[in-house]
Chain A
Amino acid sequence: MTARARRIDSVLAGKRVIVCAGSGGVGKTTTAAAVAAALAARGQRTIVLTIDPARRLADALGLPELGNEEHRVDPDRLRAAGLAGDGELWAMTLDAKRTFDELIERTAPDTETRDAVLANPIYRQLSNAVAGSQEYMAMEKLYELHESGHYDVLVLDTPPTRNALDFLDAPGRLARFIDSRSLQVFRASGRAGLGLLGRGVATVMSVLEKATGVDLLRDLAEFFNAFGGMAEGFRDRARRVEALLRDEATTFLLVTSPRAAAIADAGHFHAKLAESGMPFGALIVNRVCEPVGAAADEKGLERELTDLLDERIGRKVLHDVGDRNLLAERDARNIERMRTELSGGVLLTVPELSGDVHDLDGLAAVAAQLFKRRRS
């Protein structure tokens, strides 16, 4: 137990970027906010980047509906929740569309190009409606804030995903999409037609045209034309974002619930992290059902409950004890399986806390669980 107690500190020591990842509904946002709050209380200037936080949590952090702006969490409210310290806690809700637009504004060589890109239908769909852009832009914002040097620690909450690779690949995929090789083809096809291209490319293009329709190709050509001057910048940026993710000052916290499906996802993600050479820090299992300090079939317990209450209520209480122990056993078994899979990696558990955790008191409770020092 003592070994486990200090491990969160060793995992987070010296880290500047902490990425919380995992499947949906496991408490990623809460965990990210709790870790950030705890680090702020320990004197660090910390920012948590959240994606679509629960309204009540957003209110607790003082976040407005509109995203992409850094807000300092009121120190008085932190103090009231027992999270006082020498540091500062900041928070921001990511807005993918605005991040993308800002990126274009920064990268565009001139206003003409900027306007052409922002007005292009392909770009509008890409930046707005389409899944995946959230992932791209989370990474982009993370990088930008990291470069700003305003914060000691950045804690990133990530979009829920069952496919870990989507997320880890995000910067690279954006770069590939805007890669100058494919760009050349579309730029040429938009202007001079297919005849001027090499034979192989011309064939591919004519097949593509057959498969898609001309109009789409023209928009694509325009899109890539407009992006022409920015491709190198994008690629360069994607490379640096990726380097940041692999940096030794970066760590990934995998967040999961103890349910079998979520645990399986976490295992999958853990394997992918290793495959991609990303730094795994710890696995955090939230909302663990803890066993009752009594067994439903314990000798004399039924008798005692009947004496203290009556037979009917006593039996209901025993039933509740049985259910809870069953779920606790289930969780314990799933966690044990995960522990084996992690082979020595850090695993931390947070018990199910009474009530939903959507305010600063709740964050303080989670932080206390994560950072507590247990004595064995």
Chain B
Amino acid sequence: MAMTAAPVSEVIGSGRTRLRPILGFFVILLLLVGLWEGYKLLSDATGGNIPFTETSLPVRADDRSMPHVTHIVGSLFEPSRRGAEESLGAFLLAASWVTFKEALVGFAAGAIIGFGLGLLFVRSSLAERGLMPWVVASQTVPLLAIAPMVVLWAGKASMPLWVAVAAIAAFLSFFPVTINTVRGLRSPSPTATELFRSYASTPAQEFVKLRVPAALPYLFTGLRVAAGASVVGTIVGELPSGLPDGLGRQLLTFAYYYLSGPEKLYAAVLFSALLGIVFVSLVALAERLVIPRSRRVPT
């Protein structure tokens, strides 16, 4: 049985492996939409209470708290604000592009700093012991508290505001890269390092031919997390910066005018989420180009 089953599943798998993740994405999307709308239906049926009780549901489900999915999607095709020619969708797309560029700079800076720190920690255990607590502490500091300070410093140093925003994104994204770089560079077995020793290899050769290739799958795991983190960092950084064009500012504005158009805030949240997905997917694509299939960490 098992002998014949294996090749069959392989044949099915090979044809659909490309489509399957995308299909899964839409199935989950439908499920989420169903849950959202189902919850609203339930609330309508019971007058806002948990069924058969007098206790109200934990989240109110009226159209102001939870607009219909159709309204949220529909709002994308309506003007972004009264009298504007541009649709909300196009408006948010432009804002996402601005945020993406800032996040990309932050991600790149974070990746370089993160890799550099990882390298330093592997080379010097003294540096690792001394610096690691501070690196960990940097990630537990509330970002919302330091973001305004960074913006202020950038202003004082008469740097463009987007630099401050990218710096905040880098601040969030370097950490996963550091952790994974350290793990990856240390991943070769003692036998593998002894093999290189037996070849009388230079430390540089061992680094380039053994440690770096061994670290790549780990590094990309770190980069994926960093990609998501850099989007979060950018949006949080945009809030106090007063930069008018990014997603952060739109989220703030739509939150402010929430009562007159709740679906706009939800639309902006949706775009933030999509931006994260796109960014992480781009990193996954790069990973695919760099690392052969057999060595990839399954997603």
The answer on A and B forming one complex is no
Q: B residues near A, CB below 8 A?
A: none
Q: A residues near B, CB below 8 A?
A: none
